[in-house]
Amino acid sequence: MQTRILVVDDSLVAGHQISGVLTSAGYEVVGHARNGAEGLKLYNQLKPDVVLMDLVMPVMDGLQSLRALRGMNAAVKVIVLSSLGGVETKATEALRLGALCVVVKPIEADSVRQAVERAMGRAA
């Protein structure tokens, strides 16, 4: 069975890039949300195996979304996507809140694939 992934990123370009990397690696991208509030709705509807989430987004940012997701499902598997510029403390907070890891933007295909493999308990 394919691993089902939800991408939550306000950038359409980044979302398409991430989706392309994931589908070419054999994963199923079940949805793309443009902010954390949309991400929560899609998570409830689609029940993905893994959520890849940007930290800096409008409406509801990645930290707020991560808190809400963990409240809904303590076992949720979230991989945070983050630019290094000025968000190091947010990335650290995301890990403290239960994110599995942080993948730095601009993303590298291998980093994303390895993060998903680790999230699913497979050797990366």
Q: What mean pLDDT do residues 17-24 have?
A: 95
Would you say residue 84 has pLDDT above 80? no
Residue of 107, 118, 8, 109 whose CA lies nearest to 55: 8
pTM to 2 decimals? 0.93
**What is the fold of 4-119?**
Rossmann fold (3.40.50)
pLDDT, greater one: 123 or 122? 122
| The predicted structure's pLDDT at residue 85 | 58
Domain range annotation of the chain: 4-119
Q: What mean pLDDT do residues 85-105 have?
A: 84
Average predicted confidence (pLDDT) for the chain: 91
Would you say residue 45 has pLDDT above 90? yes
Residue of 66, 40, 50 whose CA lies nearest to 115: 50
